[in-house]
Amino acid sequence: MKLSLIAAIDENKLIGSAEGGLPWQGIEQDRDHFRSYVRGKGLLLGRKTYEEMEGWFGLDHRPYILTRNRNYAPKSQVRVAFSFDEIIRTAEKEAENELVVCGGAAIYERTINYADLIILTILHTTFTVESEAKYFPDWHSKDFIEIKRQDFSPSAERDFGMSILHLKCATN
Ligand SMILES: NC(=O)c1ccc[n+]([C@@H]2O[C@H](COP(=O)([O-])OP(=O)(O)OC[C@H]3O[C@@H](n4cnc5c(N)ncnc54)[C@H](OP(=O)(O)O)[C@@H]3O)[C@@H](O)[C@H]2O)c1
């Protein structure tokens, strides 16, 4: 089973904050890219990100949600799990071809060492957040090679450019 991480980051690798939410207004082009990439795949989210995205999951998604809370009662049909290892075992048993890690920061940090692929939307600007900033982990020290790149100029929706990169782990 392939493990992928998908995220949108700014030039400082900022992805969010302790108080939750994205540092930027939703970017339609990135949302479309996310939707299209995750369609039909196994998804893994941290409990906090799941609660932010709860309304987003349709009947065709049954994501794995990671929490340490044994009494966690999600509002929708998801698979609650208490460790990454447990999710890997279940996903392999269910013959998932690809498991896509959708964040947040704690979950990217936990899984990046096992990633076969990282799909990054890089927003070519910087943002600030009011509470503790959350970042995507550094991937440069690991063996990731760019295998695909799309560059987008600023648009009516955003006054900065963005790039979508596919980075493949050379050693996995
Ligand atoms: N820019 C992007 O692409 C992107 C993508 C996703 C999220 N985000 C942003 O990232 C921020 C949230 O990130 P976050 O790090 O605060 O939260 P998170 O990773 O979404 O969730 C953290 C929670 O996951 C559970 N957890 C973490 N590690 C675990 C482990 N090893 N075993 C079991 N459970 C574990 C814990 O849940 P319990 O507390 O229930 O135990 C923990 O509180 C938000 O601002 C969100 O909008 C951005």
The set of protein residues with a Cβ atom below 6 angstroms from ligand 1 is 7-8, 15-17, 20-22, 46-49, 52, 66-69, 72, 82-83, 102-107, 110, 134
Q: Delimit the domains of the chain by residue range.
A: 2-169
CA distance 74 to 137: 27
DSSP bridge pairs for 14: 135
Would you state the pLDDT for residue 59?
Answer: 65
Compute the distance from residue 24 Cα to the ligand 1 centre, in Å. Answer: 18
Would you state the pLDDT for residue 51?
Answer: 95
Report the residue among 30, 56, 107 best suited for mutation to probe ligand 1: largest number of ligand atoms under 8 A from its CB: 107
pLDDT digits (tens, 9 = 90+) for 95-152: 999 999 999 999 999 999 999 999 999 999 999 999 999 999 999 877 899 999 999 9
Per-residue DSSP letters for 22-57? -SS---HHHHHHHHHHHTTSEEEEEHHHHHHHGGG-
The length of the chain is: 172
Entry pTM: 0.97
- CATH code for the structural domain at 2-169: 3.40.430.10
Would you state the pLDDT for residue 140?
Answer: 85
- Which whole number is the average pLDDT over 9-35? 96
CA distance 101 to 43: 6
